[in-house]
């Protein structure tokens, strides 16, 4: 069954993700229409659920029918895991209607308050206070009533949000708001920044913190798309008033990715109204956006002008030190010991954003588990090479050497050695040429990294390759292929 599922999945995901994420999964049993899969780590499982739940659901639906269910068994079984191996069962709970895989991520999920009903809401709020608040972190968060209520991911807390120069202001404003929601000067609070830099995590951390310190406050997280969908639904069903009233009950409203409200005039109008009423009543409003509010196209001026009442803070790309801290913390929480050089290698090479950094760590763990190898520099390099590269990533000499050596089927040692064997010398010249063209490294340092050659050798190599690439079709083809492998072309 799992093999058939894999076929379905293979159609849907990029080859590389398929290799790193799906191939390491082992089916362990099928009983009562429940397929149990073994995955290498909790982190892996969360990643899978967050990004691939729809595809998994599709595969299970096709193979087991609508009654099919999925269970995960998490095994810590890695070369250098700290703990003794243990197995943890994670059950996928199911809604009565649909017995298949259930989403753990609220962000993508249809929520009960889709159709707001004050009475029901009050009732649920009451019920939730009767239930124990504590849940095992690995249990499907969806069964946590607190979670469902607020639509917040309980894992997004301040404790796991690493501070760095890139997010210091936003984070400390967030902490201040969490202490006194609604009454600080930071209302509304707008966090903006590029993708994968922690906006959602921070916004939800504020929400989670408030839920803990002020259990009576009604905290609600919605993405702009969810808000829009609910509004359209309300329009269709003629209950815009109910929709609005529901939102007016909220004490802390978190609206994620407000750039998606652009051009949606009616939705914005309604949001403007809700915004004003909440603000007047000292209710906290937190918003995120992918660019500074003033550059938000398609948002009404009157709405934008309201944002000036509060605080706008950005999250930026993490610097090297912050990336180191993130890699260390995430691997520690996974119970994996990672050698210092690996930590540095990854932090140096994955610069674009934190989400990508997490992806690399997941693949690394998966690869280690899959290939039954220790996590070392070699494995880190292979893992990184295989991962879809981000175009704004800085190219390093290490990276170039690895790609070129791989391509010519030689080792890096051979590449930088003194040998004058024709093939190797050619590969070396090409690698030097790339290093000169695509890194900002001074010629002298390039020479150094190629077995201590001097800068004139680098210049010569560069010239030779430039010349040959315009006269020799094989060379120009080789260069082309290599550029593609490096994701430059
Ligand atoms: P955005 O909403 O800006 O696109 P997210 O909040 O979804 O980004 O963050 C992407 C991933 O990176 C999440 O898994 C999140 O937990 C993680 N992350 C982001 N910022 C941090 C941070 N400062 N410390 C630790 N993890 C972070
Ligand atoms: Mg986000």
CA atoms of 357 and 338, how far apart (whole Å): 15
Asked if residue 355 is part of any domain, the answer here is yes
For the chain, list residues with pLDDT below 70.
Answer: 16, 75-148, 387-394, 489
Residues 135 and 277 in one domain: yes
Asked if residue 475 is part of any domain, the answer here is yes
Asked if residue 160 is part of any domain, the answer here is no
Count of beta carbons in the 10 Å neighbourhood of residue 357: 22
Residues 177 and 262 in one domain: yes
CB-neighbour burial class of residue 131 (10 A; exposed 0-12, middle 13-18, buried 19+)? exposed
Residue 24 confidence (pLDDT): 79
CATH of the domain at 456: 1.10.1750.10
CA atoms of 419 and 422, how far apart (whole Å): 9
Determine which residue's CA is closest to atom 5 belonging to ligand 1: 198
Asked if residue 184 is part of any domain, the answer here is yes
Q: Give me the sign of the Cα torsion angle 164, 390, 373, 365.
A: positive
Out of 106, 165, 354, 390, mutate this one to test ligand 1's pocket (max ligand atoms within 8 Å of CB): namely 354
Looking at beta carbons, which pairs linking 336-341 to residues 24 or more positions away fall under 8 Å?
A: 336/78, 336/80, 336/81, 336/82, 336/365, 336/368, 336/375, 337/80, 337/81, 337/82, 337/375, 338/375, 339/375, 339/376, 339/377, 341/377
How remote is the CA of residue 103 from the centroid of ligand 2, in Å? 17
Q: Are 9 and 59 in contact (CB under 8 A)?
A: yes
How remote is the CA of residue 470 from the centroid of ligand 2, in Å? 46
Asked if residue 392 is part of any domain, the answer here is no
Number of folded domains that form the chain: 4
Residues 301 and 331 in one domain: no
Residue 56 confidence (pLDDT): 85
CA atoms of 383 and 204, how far apart (whole Å): 31
- Residue range(s) defining the domain that contains residue 446: 397-485
Pocket-forming residues, ligand 1, beta carbon under 6 Å: 160-162, 167, 193, 195-201, 326, 354-355, 358
Asked if residue 159 is part of any domain, the answer here is no
Residue 323 confidence (pLDDT): 96
**What's the full length of the chain, in residues?**
489
Residues 330 and 408 in one domain: no
* DSSP state, residue 197: S
Residues 306 and 337 in one domain: no
Asked if residue 162 is part of any domain, the answer here is no
Name the token pair of 45: 């499982």
Q: Of the candidates 335, 351, 386, which is a domain's last residue?
A: 386
Residue 489 confidence (pLDDT): 61
Radius of gyration of the chain (CA): 26
Name the token pair of 392: 């704004």
């Amino acid at each position: 069954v799992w093999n058939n599922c894999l076929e379905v999945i293979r159609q849907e995901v990029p080859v590389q993700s398929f290799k790193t994420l799906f191939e390491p999964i082992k089916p362990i049993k099928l009983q009562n229409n429940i397929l149990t899969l073994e995955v290498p780590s909790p982190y892996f499982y969360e990643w899978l659920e967050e990004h691939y739940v729809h595809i998994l659901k599709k595969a299970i639906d096709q193979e087991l029918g609508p009654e099919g269910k999925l269970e995960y068994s998490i095994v810590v079984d890695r070369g250098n895991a700290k703990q003794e191996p243990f197995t943890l069962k994670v059950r996928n709970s199911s809604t009565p209607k649909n017995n298949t895989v259930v989403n753990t991520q609220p962000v993508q999920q249809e929520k009960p308050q889709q159709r707001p009903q004050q009475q029901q809401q009050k009732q649920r709020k009451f019920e939730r206070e009767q239930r124990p608040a504590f849940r095992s972190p690995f249990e499907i968060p969806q069964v946590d009533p607190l979670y469902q209520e607020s639509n917040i991911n309980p894992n997004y807390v301040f404790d796991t949000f690493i501070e760095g120069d890139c997010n210091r202001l936003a984070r400390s404003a967030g902490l201040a708001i969490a202490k006194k929601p609604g009454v600080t000067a930071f209302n509304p609070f707008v966090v903006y920044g590029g993708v994968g830099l922690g906006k959602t995590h921070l916004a939800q951390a504020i929400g989670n913190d408030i839920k803990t310190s002020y259990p009576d406050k009604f905290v609600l997280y919605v993405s702009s798309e969810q808000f829009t969908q609910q509004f359209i639904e309300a329009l269709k069903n003629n209950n815009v008033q109910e929709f609005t009233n529901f939102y007016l009950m909220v004490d802390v409203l978190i609206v994620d990715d407000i750039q998606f409200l652009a051009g949606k005039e009616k939705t914005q109008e309604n949001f403007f109204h809700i915004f004003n009423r909440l603000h007047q009543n000292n209710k906290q409003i937190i918003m995120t956006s992918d660019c500074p509010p003033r550059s938000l196209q398609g948002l009404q001026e009157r709405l934008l002008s309201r944002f000036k009442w509060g605080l706008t803070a950005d999250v930026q790309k993490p610097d090297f030190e912050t990336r180191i801290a993130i890699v260390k913390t995430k691997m520690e929480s996974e119970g994996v010991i990672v050698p210092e050089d690996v930590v540095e290698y990854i932090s140096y090479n994955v610069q674009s954003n934190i989400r990508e950094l997490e992806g690399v760590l997941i693949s690394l763990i998966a690869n280690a588990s899959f290939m039954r190898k220790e996590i070392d520099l070699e494995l880190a390099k292979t893992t990184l090479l295989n991962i879809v590269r981000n175009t704004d990533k800085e190219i390093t000499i290490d990276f170039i050497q690895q790609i070129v050596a791989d391509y010519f089927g030689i080792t890096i040692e051979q590449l930088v050695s003194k040998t004058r064997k024709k093939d190797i010398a050619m590969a070396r010249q090409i690698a030097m040429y790339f290093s000169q063209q695509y890194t900002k490294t001074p010629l002298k340092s390039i020479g150094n990294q190629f077995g201590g050659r001097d800068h004139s050798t680098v210049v010569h190599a560069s010239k030779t390759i430039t010349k040959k690439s315009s006269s020799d079709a094989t060379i120009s083809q080789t260069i082309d292929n290599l550029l593609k492998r490096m994701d430059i072309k």
